[in-house]
């Protein structure tokens, strides 16, 4: 009986672990649609803040595991008044894409190289991505965010409108912004490798949803 119970417990633990590995990354799905032609405009009282120390943390999952990493925000500016962002944009340096969950010599270089080739982001032909704010709306009742930012996200030369929550704070002449984890569907930007929509074998599927956390600081002047 003890052996049977022990076996049943191990089987249950294995089943739960396997099930967890099959799930898409955590985060609310970002509202995504066609690119918006009109970008946000700053008011006459707004100050311009230059972005520094910006990163995008990413998490991708597949059957049997996940990988995590970062991409640098290379430059950008936001305009804000009374502690509220009104407009702005930033560039994404795709050459800085790295996997942070792997060590050098343990598959890290292979994964990074694969993510940068034409199967995924095709970095040699698309070295820069971008995000242009099209609107900002206040957000109440969310402990992690105080506004919703909508903007045009460009990857691989494809632009889509994406809306996600963000928490923006002002301390003196510095502005900081960080988002809760939110998810985008990579296939909207023609990143289809390993997707279930193209007949990939079930045990090789990479989930279409990728979780992102955007985090940057900006200084006035």
Domain regions of the chain by residue span: 24-220
Q: What is the mean pLDDT of residues 18-31?
A: 71
Residue 21 pLDDT: 44
Q: Is the pLDDT of residue 46 over 70?
A: yes
pLDDT category at 196 given cuts 50, 70, 90 is: confident
Please list the residues that pair with 81 across neighbouring strands. 84
221 falls in which pLDDT band (50, 70, 90)? confident
* Mean local confidence (pLDDT), 49-62: 96
Domain 24-220 has CATH 2.40.128.110: yes
Give Dmax over CA atoms of the chain in angstroms: 77
Identify the bridge partners of residue 162 per DSSP, sorted by sequence position.
32, 151
Question: And the tokens for 148?
Answer: 């919703």
Q: Closest Cα partner for 150 from 166, 129, 168? A: 166
Distant-in-sequence, close-in-space partners of 150: CB < 8 Å, separation ≥ 6: 31, 36, 133, 134, 135, 136, 137, 161, 162, 163
pTM of the entire predicted model: 0.86
């Amino acid at each position: 009986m003890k052996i049977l119970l022990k076996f049943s417990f191990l089987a249950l633990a294995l089943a739960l672990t396997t099930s967890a590995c099959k799930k898409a990354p955590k985060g609310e799905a970002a509202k995504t649609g066609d690119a918006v032609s009109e970008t946000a405009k700053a008011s006459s009282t707004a100050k311009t803040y230059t972005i520094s120390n910006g990163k995008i943390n990413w998490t991708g999952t597949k059957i049997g595991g996940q990988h995590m990493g970062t991409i640098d925000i290379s430059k950008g500016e936001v305009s804000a008044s009374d502690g509220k962002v009104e407009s702005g944009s930033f560039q994404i340096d795709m050459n800085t894409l790295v996997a942070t969950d792997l060590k050098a010599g343990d598959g890290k270089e292979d994964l990074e190289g694969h993510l940068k080739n034409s199967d995924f982001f095709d970095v040699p032909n698309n070295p820069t991505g971008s995000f242009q704010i099209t609107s900002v709306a206040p957000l109440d009742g969310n402990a992690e965010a105080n506004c919703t930012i909508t903007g045009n996200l460009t990857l691989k030369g494809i632009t889509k409108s994406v809306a996600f929550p963000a928490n923006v704070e002002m301390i003196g002449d510095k502005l900081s912004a960080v988002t809760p984890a939110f998810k985008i569907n990579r296939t909207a930007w023609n990143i289809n490798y390993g997707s279930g929509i193209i007949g990939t074998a079930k045990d090789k599927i990479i989930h279409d949803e990728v979780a992102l956390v955007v985090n940057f600081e900006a200084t006035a002047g």
